[in-house]
Structure 1
């Protein structure tokens, strides 16, 4: 895996997981938890999210193949879903606001909903890890690199949650919303590229090499 591909995968995972966008969700979810327990609360959420995403990373494609589906079709469908997810990030209610609203009547003591799922291990993130780990196009070593990148992004997310109070005071709720929308623009670009790659995998389209 070359540096350009590695950077592209890292950016994709960073955008779909959206560490900054999860900060307001963490602050809301941890509001009823003693301050000295916030660290354990954040770690628990990251562990749950990591477990969910790793299951999709390892077994997502096996499920597709068991259903007789080609990765190219899933790549196209995944790109479309990621694009719709990006449109929601850009034009819809901001990610933190929508997830906080969904959690308004829930018991938040477990740090699972809405923080681990769907804020960190979002549907977009689950889809992205399957798309990025094609068993036929990527070697085990390349998929291992993707797994390391995923864990790195989750590590950044954990750091953001541990520093949530200070970051929130600096950027405010409006700042978190702006960051989420900018990431939505990046994700939209990644989604269109995923559709084009899927069409190429299906033999419908021949892409020209990207100039270096």
Structure 2
């Protein structure tokens, strides 16, 4: 169980990628008051938690109703995670999410979606709470780990000015690229595990 908690924490951390969200939050809220910044950080975290909890509860039910196997999602998710990791490595995430959509709350877009919660994060939490592999207790622990990481992300956003002053823009960029490399490696492992499962299922037992 400890190994699963650690694994879940690492995978969820690198997909949420709090450092990137902190840099984006600092840029988008530079002209806001302290009260507005606090409200934006909290609401972005709340929206993200609601989306991910809904994905955990109903995500697999929807996939089953659509006839999509978890192994298919695992392979597709691995590919998307790999591409997402490459974007992080080459520093394209900030440019992608740097401009908020006019007329919308920045806590929703682009902070909650797609900075904190992107399609890759939704797929990850669905895979980590697979009903066929994990008990309800294990899924609850994964959900708790996810909420803890979201809480840490919220705290980091509230402290964004101080953090960026300490590590600097270059430091944030270096951390983002390191997380991208880790995410790319995890995505490859995810695809390999899925293919191994398919091969074991396809090859008839002697």
Q: Same fold (TM over 0.5)?
A: yes
Residue deviations 1:84-108 (CA, integer Å, cap 9, x gap): 1111111252x233311x42x6346
Match in the other structure for 2:204: none
Residue deviations 1:61-87 (CA, integer Å, cap 9, x gap): 111111111111111111111111111
How far off its partner does 1:110 sit? 4.5
Give the whole-Å Cα distance in 2 for the aligned partners of 1:127 and 1:178. Answer: 26
Matches within 5 A, 1:1-212: 2-93=1-92, 95-100=93-98, 102-103=99-100, 106-107=102-103, 109-204=105-200
Give the whole-Å Cα distance in 2 for the aligned partners of 1:53 and 1:160. Answer: 19
Give the whole-Å Cα distance in 1 for the aligned partners of 2:33 and 2:105. Answer: 11
Give the whole-Å Cα distance in 1 for the aligned partners of 2:190 and 2:91. Answer: 22
How far off its partner does 1:55 sit? 1.1
Give the whole-Å Cα distance in 2 for the aligned partners of 1:106 and 1:77. Answer: 32
Number of residues paired by the alignment? 202
Give the whole-Å Cα distance in 1 for the aligned partners of 2:50 and 2:105. Answer: 19
How far off its partner does 1:31 sit? 2.8
TM-score (norm 2): 0.91
RMSD: 1.8
Contact 1:42–1:161 (8 Å) recurs in 2:
yes
TM-score (norm 1): 0.89
**Equivalent residue of 1:203, what SS?**
helix
Give the whole-Å Cα distance in 2 for the aligned partners of 1:71 and 1:128. Answer: 11
Contact 2:73–2:123 (8 Å) recurs in 1:
no
Structure 2, gaps ≥5 residues long: 202-206
Contact 1:99–1:114 (8 Å) recurs in 2:
yes
Structure 1, gaps ≥5 residues long: 206-212
Contact 1:54–1:147 (8 Å) recurs in 2:
yes
